[in-house]
Amino acid sequence: MKMGKQQTGTDRSERRFTKTLMVSAVLIACLLFAIALTLLIESIPAIKTFGLGFFIGKTWNAASEKFGALPFLVGTLLTSFLALLISIPFSIAISIFLGEYFKEGALSTFLRSSVEVLAGIPSVIYGLWGLFLLMPLARAIEIRLGVPPHGVGIFTSSLILAIMVIPFSASIGREVITLVPSDLKEAAYSLGATRFEVLKNIVIPYARSGIIAGILLALGRAIGETMAVTMLIGNSNFLPTGIFSPANTMASVIANEFAEATGIVSSSLIYIALVLFLVTMLVNIIGNYIIQKISIEASKEVT
C-alpha cells in the first residue's frame, strides 16, 4: 500500500521532470520562431510599400520617404567577401600549421591559444583599435593611391573583419584537417610523396568541403558583425563606388538609425534586420550541415 503510494509520487515527479525538460526545449524553438515572427510582423508595412523592389532600390532618403536597401546589401557583400578574401590564406595556413605540421607541442599550444584569444576579444575593442591604428594606415595607403583619403570605408572595415573572422575558419579548418584518415596519408608517404604533395593531393582535397564550411561560417559572422564595422565604415547611405569609398552595411545602418526611426523608416530597418536574420540563418544551416556530414563520414571510416 505504502509502496504503491510512493510509486505514484515518483511517477508524478518523473512526469513533471520530463515535461519540464521538454517544455524548455520547446521554448527554445518557440524563441526562434517568435524572433522570426516579430521581425516579420514589424516589417509588414515596409514589405507592403516596397515589396521585393526594396533590394534593388538605390536611394535611402528619409526626406522623400523612399527606401531601398541595395547600398547596404552591396556594402555588406563587399565588406564580407573582401574580408574573406584577405583572411583565407591566413586561416588555411593556421589550419595546416595546427592540423598537420605541429599537431602538438609548445609552438602549437601557443598558436592555438593565441587564436582563441583573438576570437575572444570584443568587437568594440577591434573597432577602437581600428580607429587609432588602421584608420591612419588606410589613409596613408589611400593618399599613395590617389583616392580620397577618408581613412574609413569599405577597405578599412574589411581589414578589421578579416582579422575578426580568421579564428573561426581556422579552428574549423584545423578540425577537418585532423579528421583526414591517416591510412590515406600513410599510403601516399609510402609511395615517396613529400609532405607538400600529401597536403596538396590528399589532405586538402579530402578536407575541402570542411574548409569551405568553415569559410561559410566565417562569412555568416562577417555579415552580422556590427560594432567594429559601424565605427570604421564611414556611414554613407549611397551605393559604394569603389573599395575605398565610405558605405554602410545592413548591420551598421540599423545601429546608426534604429534609435530615431519612426513609422516606415523603423519598419524598413526591421525589414533589413529580417533579411539579415534569414541570410545568416541560411549560411549557418548550410555550414553546419556540411560539417556534420563530414564528421559522420569520418567516424564511419574509423570504425
Backbone angles phi, psi at 171, to 5 degrees: -70, -35
Q: Interface with other proteins includes 68 (CB under 8 A)? A: no
Report the C-alpha gap between 131 and 125 in whole angstroms. 10
Q: Interface with other proteins includes 215 (CB under 8 A)? A: no
Stretch 93-122 residues interacting with other proteins (CB under 8 A):
93-94, 96-98, 101, 111, 114-118, 120-122
Stretch 115-154 residues interacting with other proteins (CB under 8 A):
115-118, 120-129, 131-133, 135-136, 139, 148-152
Q: Interface with other proteins includes 196 (CB under 8 A)? A: yes
Q: Interface with other proteins includes 59 (CB under 8 A)? A: yes
CB 270 within 8 A of CB 42: yes
Site string for other proteins, 155-194 (x = CB under 8 A): --------x--x---x-----------------------x
CB 156 within 8 A of CB 134: yes
According to DSSP, the residues that pair with 60 across neighbouring strands are: 67
Site for other proteins (CB under 8 A): which residue of 263, 293, 296, 301? 263
Give 184 or 286: the residue with its C-beta nearer to other proteins. 286
CB 180 within 8 A of CB 100: no
Q: What's the alpha-carbon Rg for the chain, to the nearest Å?
A: 25
Q: Interface with other proteins includes 296 (CB under 8 A)? A: no
Q: What's the distance, CA 231 to chain centroid?
A: 18
Taking the complex as a whole, how short is the minimal distance between the CB of residue 152 and other proteins, in angstroms? Answer: 6
Report the C-alpha gap between 90 and 96 in whole angstroms. 10
* Site size toward other proteins, by CB under 8 A: 111
